[in-house]
């Protein structure tokens, strides 16, 4: 660094007569984390420099020097040769100072018509937009993994649960497709957030706009924004796009946590529905028989971390007056960590689904436990005998009680047992008491019948 560019205070003039206290420097510096914005900061500066030259605010020669210097800086950062300085506070001052070192006076002209306020807002929007795009792609990869598994298990029967009690038979494919629906909503939330945030703050300057004849539409177009922000105050103070990402990420994290919880349950010896790959499990230091579903548990646990970042950002913003306050520096670490966490959890979830071993015979054995075809018996009375459903429900409940007394399943009751409960229960009722017949009968739209599951698999394949 040159002596002239020694500190952030040097860059904004001589109003201060002394440097900051070491503790102030420590609390004020953000370069430790906002250096992740270097590519976006350079990209925004390139667009700004081109616009300044196009508008006649700086010369073409100065613009060429600036572009050359920014390209050099990007190379230095990516090759690990750039010396980041906490004295220069943030990524913006670090790059600007280095630019002046490299090209001299033209580097000092780059900041014309903008402020760090609109600069950081632009950088963070660009970074978040990239994160939203990655999230959509990763979500789709998990959806594809679930769809492929659903196709393979479209007719494999398992118990469906309410209150974690066996309720009705469903197919494993149908169960997995429920998560595809959840993830599709997550995908749409991120896509909607991208549409809302895709406007450019650049040129709003500190808060009031600028007196220079800047062309904000030009920089917006070059940076891939749909338009410039229409209000300079809102442009620098808005962090809704951060909240949008964190809100979508929190809901997504909850969905991934629910899936992870089921993988944890299903992989226990008590369920035995799936066996997690060794790649995503661990052993025990004392119990040699253990295979712990650590990756699933960590996906489940990290949901709280993501939700916490949303809460922190909401609390940080809730009492801020217009426009920019230094509190807003706290928008980055939580966002960065949430993005890293969500992307890791999505990738881990996808690979756990792809690599797990499924045991359809264990699922089928469990599917009939707990009298899960009791509703089928009641439906048969309504459909075949014309009984009112509430009456049929009562008859079926008495049949369940009789089976409990006998210590057997509904399908194991004798015809005499059923006839004693209600004379309308004839031998034909046994046709609906098997779990495979039960799922095959659920042909309503969105139902668990294998035919419907395969239709949904085909639909999702075409969508994805």
State pLDDT tens for residues 296-355.
Answer: 999 999 999 999 999 999 999 999 999 999 999 999 999 999 999 999 999 999 999 999
282, β-bridge pairs: 292
| Residue 463 clears pLDDT 60, i.e. is over it | yes
Active site members: 163, 284
Of 70-84, 274-288, 388-402, give the lowest mean pLDDT range. Answer: 274-288
| Residue 233 clears pLDDT 90, i.e. is over it | yes
Grade residue 25 by pLDDT with cuts at 50, 70 and 90. Answer: confident
| Residue 19 clears pLDDT 80, i.e. is over it | no
| Residue 278 clears pLDDT 90, i.e. is over it | yes
Single pTM value for the model: 0.93
Peptide bond before 323: cis, by omega within 30 degrees of 0?
A: yes
Q: What's the pLDDT tens digit per position in 350-379?
A: 999 999 999 999 999 999 898 999 999 999
Work out the percent of the chain whose per-residue pLDDT is above 90. Answer: 90
Contact in structure between 46 and 105 (CB atoms under 8 Å) = no
| pLDDT confidence of residue 15 | 67
Q: Which two tokens stand for residue 370?
A: 């707990």
3 state SS for 127-195: HHHHHHHHHHHHHHHHHHHHHHHHHHCCCCEEEEEECCEEEEEEEHHHHHHHHHHHHHHHHHHHHHHHH
Average pLDDT over residues 235-252: 98
Our separate counts of H helices and E strands in the chain read 20, 6
| Residue 2 clears pLDDT 60, i.e. is over it | no
Q: Which two tokens stand for residue 15?
A: 């109003």
Grade residue 404 by pLDDT with cuts at 50, 70 and 90. Answer: very high
Determine whether 115 is exposed, middle or buried from the number of CB atoms within 10 Å of its CB (0-12, 13-18, 19+). buried
Of 99-113, 125-139, 411-425, 447-461, give the lowest mean pLDDT range. Answer: 411-425
Q: Which two tokens stand for residue 81?
A: 């040769």
Contact in structure between 450 and 155 (CB atoms under 8 Å) = yes
* Cα 427 from chain centroid (whole Å): 52
> How far apart, in whole angstroms, are the C-alpha atoms of residue 431 and residue 54?
80
> How far apart, in whole angstroms, are the C-alpha atoms of residue 288 and residue 292?
11
What's the chain's average pLDDT? 94
Of 37-46, 224-233, 418-427, give the lowest mean pLDDT range. Answer: 418-427
The set of long-range contacts for 315-323, using a CB threshold of 8 Å and a minimum separation of 24, is 317/239, 317/243, 320/237, 322/207, 322/233, 322/237, 323/117, 323/206, 323/207, 323/233, 323/236, 323/237
Average pLDDT over residues 193-207: 98
Grade residue 1 by pLDDT with cuts at 50, 70 and 90. Answer: very low
Which 3 state secondary structure label does DSSP give 282? strand
> For residue 289, what is the DSSP state?
T
The dihedral through the CA atoms of 44, 47, 51, 52 has a sign that is: positive
Contact in structure between 409 and 169 (CB atoms under 8 Å) = no
Grade residue 4 by pLDDT with cuts at 50, 70 and 90. Answer: very low
Average pLDDT over residues 452-462: 98
> How far apart, in whole angstroms, are the C-alpha atoms of residue 219 and residue 226?
11
Average pLDDT over residues 7-21: 64
Grade residue 3 by pLDDT with cuts at 50, 70 and 90. Answer: very low
| pLDDT confidence of residue 245 | 98
Contact in structure between 356 and 274 (CB atoms under 8 Å) = yes
| Residue 10 clears pLDDT 70, i.e. is over it | no
Which 3 state secondary structure label does DSSP give 213? coil
* Cα 338 from chain centroid (whole Å): 9
| pLDDT confidence of residue 6 | 47
Work out the percent of the chain whose per-residue pLDDT is above 70. Answer: 96
| Residue 453 clears pLDDT 60, i.e. is over it | yes
Q: What's the pLDDT tens digit per position in 380-394?
A: 999 999 999 999 999
168, β-bridge pairs: 160
> For residue 265, what is the DSSP state?
H
Residue written as token pair 């010396």: 83
Average pLDDT over residues 166-185: 97
| pLDDT confidence of residue 8 | 55
| pLDDT confidence of residue 5 | 40
Strands 199-200 and 227-228, bridge-based pairing: parallel
| Residue 231 clears pLDDT 60, i.e. is over it | yes
| Residue 222 clears pLDDT 70, i.e. is over it | yes
């Amino acid at each position: 660094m040159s002596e002239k560019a020694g500190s952030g205070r040097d860059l904004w003039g001589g109003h201060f007569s002394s440097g900051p206290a070491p503790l102030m420097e420590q609390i004020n510096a953000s370069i430790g984390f906002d250096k992740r914005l270097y590519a976006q900061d350079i990209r925004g500066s390139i667009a700004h420099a081109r616009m300044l030259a196009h508008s006649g605010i700086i010369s073409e020669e100065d613009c060429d020097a600036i572009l050359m210097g920014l390209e050099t800086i990007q190379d230095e950062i990516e090759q690990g040769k750039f010396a980041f300085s906490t004295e220069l506070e943030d990524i913006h001052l670090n790059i600007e100072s280095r630019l002046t070192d490299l090209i001299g006076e033209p580097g000092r002209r780059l900041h014309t018509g903008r402020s760090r306020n609109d600069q950081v807002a632009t950088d963070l929007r660009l970074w978040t937009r990239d994160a939203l795009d990655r999230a959509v792609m990763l979500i789709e990869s998990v959806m594809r993994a679930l769809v492929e598994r659903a196709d393979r298990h479209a007719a494999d029967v398992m118990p469906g649960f309410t209150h974690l009690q066996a309720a009705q038979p469903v197919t494993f494919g149908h169960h997995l497709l429920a998560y595809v629906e959840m993830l599709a909503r997550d995908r749409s939330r991120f896509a909607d957030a991208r549409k809302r945030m895709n406007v450019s703050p650049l040129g709003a300057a500190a808060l009031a706009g600028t007196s220079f004849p800047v062309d904000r539409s030009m920089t917006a177009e070059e940076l891939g924004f749909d338009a410039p922000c229409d209000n300079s105050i809102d442009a620098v103070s808005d962090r809704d796009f951060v909240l949008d990402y964190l809100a979508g990420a929190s809901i997504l994290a909850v969905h991934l946590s629910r899936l992870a919880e089921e993988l944890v349950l299903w992989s226990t010896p008590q369920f035995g529905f799936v066996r997690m790959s060794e790649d995503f499990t661990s052993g025990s230091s004392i119990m040699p028989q253990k295979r712990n579903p650590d990756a699933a548990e960590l996906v489940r646990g990290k949901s709280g971390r993501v939700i916490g970042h949303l809460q922190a950002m909401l609390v940080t913003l809730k009492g801020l007056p217009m426009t920019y306050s230094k509190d807003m520096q706290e928008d980055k670490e939580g966002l960065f960590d949430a993005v890293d966490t969500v992307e890791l959890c999505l990738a881990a979830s996808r690979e756990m689904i792809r690599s797990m071993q499924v045991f359809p015979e264990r699922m089928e054995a469990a599917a009939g436990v707990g009298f899960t075809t009791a509703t089928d018996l009641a439906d048969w009375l309504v459909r075949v005998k014309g009984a009112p459903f509430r009456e049929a429900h009562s008859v079926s409940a008495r049949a369940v009680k009789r089976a409990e007394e006998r210590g057997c399943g509904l399908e194991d009751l004798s015809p005499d047992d059923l006839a004693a409960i209600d004379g309308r229960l004839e031998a034909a009722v046994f046709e609906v008491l098997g779990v495979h017949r039960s799922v095959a009968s659920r042909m309503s739209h969105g139902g668990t019948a294998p035919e419907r599951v395969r239709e949904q698999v085909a639909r999702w394949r075409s969508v994805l």
